[in-house]
Amino acid sequence: MTSRSRPARIRKQPGERRAEIVRTAARIALEDALERVTLRRVADELGVRPGLVGHCFPVAGDLVSEAFTHAATGERAALLQEGERALPPVERLARFLVRLTDGEYRDLSRLWLNARHLSRFGAGLRSAVAAQESVTRGALTDLIEEGARAGDFEVDDALGAALQILVTVDGLGAYANDDEQVEHPALDDMAIAVAERLLVLAPGTLRARA
């Protein structure tokens, strides 16, 4: 008799394995929901035993928090791209808002809506949400301040403007789970219109500069 040879199992370094688990969990969170991020689901996706995932994340809630953080960080990097830092602030803001409002990042809106709801029940996720809010708020405030110094924007309170823009974005994101989106002229480019009003830009400027 000849025994059937089994494929050699690749043993990954702990850091590499952990990063792979977090990436997989983040994808599940974006595509499905944070509630779907379980040790078994991640293990099935990776083709490993749940115990291996549990070894890296003994507390399942920690995996959920890291999945959210990884997904939110990656999506923010796609919205405020490092390679565009040489562009004028008005163009970077325009691209940020147009990307957010054109529907491509609807999964991101759903993720934030999901995370804010679940954060009521877990301190770890609540801390992760607050941290990501702070980073995004800081990045947008810095961009507005840079634009004010460059003469792109007229604004006395960059943080206040950033908060109003982000609250408008979040408000629109509250409808992300609706199968049928409400259609009304008042909703068209609302976040962009708010930004133009706060920064004293002519209507249509941000669409034109994106």
| Chain segment 26-68, per-residue pLDDT in tens | 999 999 999 999 999 999 999 999 999 999 999 999 999 999 9
Question: How many helical (H) and strand (E) elements, i.e. helices and strands, does the chain have?
Answer: 10, 0
The residues, ordered by sequence, that sit 6+ positions from 171 with a Cβ below 8 Å of its Cβ are none
Average pLDDT, the chain: 91
According to the model, what pLDDT value does residue 78 have? Answer: 93
The yes-or-no verdict on residue 5 having pLDDT over 70 is no
Residue 21, classified by CB atoms within 10 Å of its CB into exposed (0-12), middle (13-18) or buried (19+), is buried
Radius of gyration, alpha carbons of the chain: 21
Phi-psi sector, 151: left (phi>0), alpha (psi -120 to 50), beta: left
Going by pLDDT thresholds of 50, 70 and 90, the confidence category of residue 6 is: very low
Phi-psi sector, 8: left (phi>0), alpha (psi -120 to 50), beta: beta
The whole-angstrom separation of Cα 8 and Cα 190 is 55
What percent of the chain has a predicted confidence (pLDDT) above 70? 93
The whole-angstrom separation of Cα 108 and Cα 114 is 10
The whole-angstrom separation of Cα 185 and Cα 95 is 21
Q: What CATH architecture applies to the domain 80-209?
A: Orthogonal Bundle (1.10)
The whole-angstrom separation of Cα 132 and Cα 68 is 9
Which residue is it, tokens 């923010």? 76
According to the model, what pLDDT value does residue 9 have? Answer: 52
Is domain 12-70 in CATH 1.10.10, yes or no?
yes
The yes-or-no verdict on residue 197 having pLDDT over 90 is yes
CB 196 within 8 A of CB 206: yes
Q: Which tokens belong to 29?
A: 């969170």
Is 0.75 surpassed by the pTM of this model?
Answer: yes
Q: Please compute the mean of the pLDDT values over residues 179-206 and round it to a whole number.
A: 88
Residues of the chain with CATH 1.10.10: 12-70
According to the model, what pLDDT value does residue 10 have? Answer: 61
The yes-or-no verdict on residue 70 having pLDDT over 80 is yes
Going by pLDDT thresholds of 50, 70 and 90, the confidence category of residue 187 is: confident
Going by pLDDT thresholds of 50, 70 and 90, the confidence category of residue 4 is: very low
Residues of the chain with CATH 1.10.357.10: 80-209
Q: Please compute the mean of the pLDDT values over residues 6-22 and round it to a whole number.
A: 77
What percent of the chain has a predicted confidence (pLDDT) above 90? 78
Per-residue pLDDT tens for 94-135? 999 999 887 778 888 999 999 999 999 999 999 999 999 999
